[in-house]
Amino acid sequence: MKKAVYIIEKDPKWLIREERRVYEARADGKLARKRKRFRLIDVFAGAGGMTLGFSKSFGHAFDSVWANDFNDYCVKTYKANFGDHCLSGDIVDILDDPAVKIPKADVVIGGPPCQGFSLLNKNREGDPRKQLWRPYFEIVERSGAQVFVMENVPQLLNSFEHGEIMGTAEAMGFKVWGDVLCAADYGVSQTRRRAFMIGCKFFDPAEVFPPRKSHFNPSKNGSGQTSFLKADGNGCLPNAVKWRTVRDAIADLPRPKGTEIRKEDPPLDLHFGRTPTATSLARYKAIPKEGMNRFDLQERARELTPACWIRKKEGGTDLFGRLWWDRPAFTIRTEFFKPEKGRYLHPKQHRPITHREAARLQSFPDDFVFKGSKIEIARQIGNAVPPLLAARVADVVYMLLTMNNR
């Protein structure tokens, strides 16, 4: 730590150059080939979107050594992609079992269930899931991790629990910083916004977090070539490119076939559709243009519009919405196959997006293996941290850990 602080004091732009070096080395696959590798634990791992962003598949030098999730299907998916070290079950029960040994790790990552904080949860006051960050920190302590990353909905950062989390982490010797990141700023074809808290025992993460953007919104940032100084608060990497769009992610896919998981190689295995009712199909056809939604449906075909939508004059502007080809998608949730739940209609075809399209909009590669039924896989996709977003967070963690090993 002292050496790193000395370098920064002598050369204030050292961190900026180091971040760029790590980002470019990972993109070239050089970090994954490094002899020095770091051990990772993923708590509340889900399908493993965060682990994937930290893994060799995304060019990183992190090895998953232990993981946990309550959902058996998520555990099967995690094992299929990362190895047989993911435990299924309630994390509290697991930690109470004397036979369970938490291995040593350099970093602990994970997202305690977000429903306790989400605005979609109408009963969030007193929700016991808001306290699942406590066993998360027990794992941080048992593993001896020097860095942790906690992910959740943006509302976490304005909650009472946020103060409790900060206090607990600081009492354990961590310096902590948090921010809300937009996935589109980091290469994901989706404007999903998630809160990340990063803690480090040997360096102030506020100096390096959030990571600078690798992509920029062309409608707001012009060329995106803002100052490289961290103090900007809006800075991009010098080689930043435009946001990836829905077209970038899914335009090469053929029309879907069938309504079940297909016995074909990726990407076609998860590229299946639904059988809409005649009314649903008529609704799709009544709003054929990109960007349309339930209000356009009401204006163009009132007789096809559900009465509850007519009564609801405000809110929910993306319900029954059609995606734009040349913009990122909005947040992909667990019921993306139901257009009445959000902006999930294909830009041109009269159907909701498929599981494969949703996975690509989340930045999952086609060779990632999902286990379970259609419903379970949809939940895994919608609940995941986009791996490309996780990879940029992993860049910061890698920079911190290598800084401590200089």
CATH code of the domain covering residue 342:
3.90.120.10
Clarify whether residues 211 and 279 are in a common domain. Answer: no
Could you give the CA distance from residue 382 to residue 362 in angstroms, rounded to a whole number?
8
Q: Number of helices and strands (H, E) in the chain? A: 14, 9
Query: Do 49 and 135 sit in the same domain of this protein?
Result: yes
**Amino acid 358: pLDDT:** 98
**Whether 219 and 281 share a structural domain:** no
Whole-model pTM above 0.75?
A: yes
Q: Are 158 and 281 in the same domain?
A: no
Examine the domain organization and report whether 219 and 149 are in the same domain. Answer: yes
Q: Do 128 and 168 sit in the same domain of this protein?
A: yes
Q: Helix 2-10 vs helix 14-27: angle between axes, to the nearest 10 degrees?
A: 110
In a shared domain, residues 235 and 94 = yes
Environment class of 399 (CB within 10 Å of its CB; exposed 0-12, middle 13-18, buried 19+): buried
Considering the candidates 86, 114, 182, 236, report the single residue annotated as catalytic.
Answer: 114
Range of the domain at 285: 248-383
Our measurement of the distance from residue 359's CA atom to the centroid of its chain's CA atoms, rounded to an integer in Å, reads 11
List Cα–Cα distances, 144 to 42, 109, 283, 300, in angstroms.
14, 13, 55, 61
> What per-residue confidence (pLDDT) applies to 364?
98
Query: How far is the CA of 200 from the CAs of 118, 171, 259, in angstroms?
Result: 26, 12, 47
pLDDT reported for residue 4: 62
d(CA 182, CA 176): 20
What pLDDT is stored for residue 34 in this prediction?
Answer: 84
What does the pLDDT look like over 141-175, one tens digit per residue? 999 999 999 999 999 898 888 999 999 999 999 99
Query: What's the pLDDT at 115?
Result: 54
Same domain, 146 and 62: yes
Same domain assignment for residues 212 and 312: no
Give pLDDT, residue 11.
Answer: 73
The SS3 call for residue 41 is strand
In DSSP terms, 345 is beta-bridged to 322, 352
Q: Are residues 207 and 62 in the same domain?
A: yes
| Domains: count for the chain | 2
Please tell me the predicted confidence (pLDDT) of residue 9.
65
User: Which residues in 191-267 belong to E strands, given as ranges?
Assistant: 193-200, 213-216, 236-242
* Contact (Cβ atoms closer than 8 angstroms) between residue 64 and residue 51: yes
The verdict on 154 and 284 lying in the same domain is: no
**Residue 317: what pLDDT?**
76
pLDDT at 406: 65
Residue 341: strand, helix, or coil: helix
Calpha distance 111→278 (Å, rounded): 40
- Say how far apart CA 81 and CA 66 lie, in whole Å: 13
Residues 225, 109, single domain; the answer is yes
Asked about 236 being catalytic, the answer comes back as no
Which residues of the chain fall below pLDDT 70? 1-10, 12, 114-130, 221-234, 315-316, 406
* Residue 213: CATH number of its domain: 3.40.50.150
- How far apart are the two ends of the chain, measured CA to CA in Å? 9
